[in-house]
Amino acid sequence: MKRKQAWIMLGCLVAILLALFVATRIGPPLEPRTNLVKTKAEVPAKEFASRIPHTDGKNDSANRIVNRSSNNSSAPLPPEGTPLKQTFADLAQRAEAGDVAAASRLAKDTRTCVRTSQMETDVARIARQDPKEGLDKIPSELLKFASAELNAEQFKLDYVKRNAPLCNGLSQDQYNSMFPNTLRAAQLGSLADANCFVGTSLASMPGLLDHPEWLVNYKDNALSIAQMAVERGSWTMAETLAQSYAGNLSTVLIGKLTGEDAAMAYRYLSLWRLGLPPSSNDMKNILDRELADAARSLTPDQLGAASDWAQNAYLNYFNDNPAGATDQVNMCPN
């Protein structure tokens, strides 16, 4: 009973401290989203999504991913941090014309603004909590447990303040263009956006209820984009596919798409292990256990084929970064 009361008191403490902390530090909110009159050059989410080519899953990735080198533009990008409201129409127009740098910049800035909006909502919700309950009733030994929560809220506050100038004044259509923007950049060959697209979750798709066709776009394109990224030497994608086929990402879209597949898991887990640096003994031990689990349901021929595939992929695709695999997967840092 005392243990239960302690946890209840800890929860109350965290709520009180967060409310006090956020209330004293939160700055002015982002400017409200507007329903801007769209210029001819601006590509809103609905129109943009309708222009994305659908694939039937029969063509290889080379036919579906435009080569980066043939679509780069020599035109300079706007300076980093330029308000997206000012650059959106031009970047979208350049992306439509096949400019991979512009497409990637548009996708990155849109993702940043979506995250900024989500974090602003979180800190505003906490700031509305009533911190009237005093802290004198909280045992001192529980105070230390609140520091992690406070640090997390400080990170959100800093992120919102840092990116507010970039994101102020965007329309809802522009926020909702994040998914089609990221798909376009991935199709044009941006590895960073390929990783972000494949790592998409339902929670990171603003406007999804108005655009259910985006789930079809994801299903039609995610695996071919993932294959392209692996063939371009993306350890992030190789690690993600290993986790996905092993059944460890069953709650996100890529896990739903791949399902659990022991043979494919063995391929990508083997590839992942080949790419770990010599110092990653702990991660090698973890992967060895996962490989043993996958091997139990495979025949000797399947094991041989999977091992051969991993060795060939390692030699053919990862020469530039042979020990670049890591023990943590972050699909879309921003």
* Predicted local distance difference test score (pLDDT) of residue 144: 60
Which of 1-5, 36-40, 187-191 is predicted with the least confidence, judged by mean pLDDT? 36-40
- The interaxial angle of helices 147-167 and 100-127, nearest 10 deg, is 130
pLDDT tens-digit readout, 119-161:
998 878 776 665 555 555 556 665 566 666 777 888 889 999 9
Q: How confident is the model at residue 297 (pLDDT cuts 50, 70, 90)?
A: very high
Neighbour count for residue 162 (Cβ, 10 Å): 12
Sign of CA dihedral 254, 258, 262, 265: negative
* Predicted local distance difference test score (pLDDT) of residue 146: 62
Residue 34, beta-bridge partner list: 171
CA neighbor of 313 nearest in space, from 193, 227, 236: 227
This prediction's pTM? 0.76
* Predicted local distance difference test score (pLDDT) of residue 43: 35
pLDDT tens-digit readout, 70-83:
455 668 999 999 99
Neighbour count for residue 302 (Cβ, 10 Å): 16
How many Cα neighbours within 13 Å face the side chain of 8?
Answer: 6
More confident residue, 333 or 322: 322
Contact 124, 18 (CB under 8 A): no
Q: What is the residue extent of each domain of the chain?
A: 233-334
Mean pLDDT of the chain: 81
- The interaxial angle of helices 300-317 and 213-231, nearest 10 deg, is 80
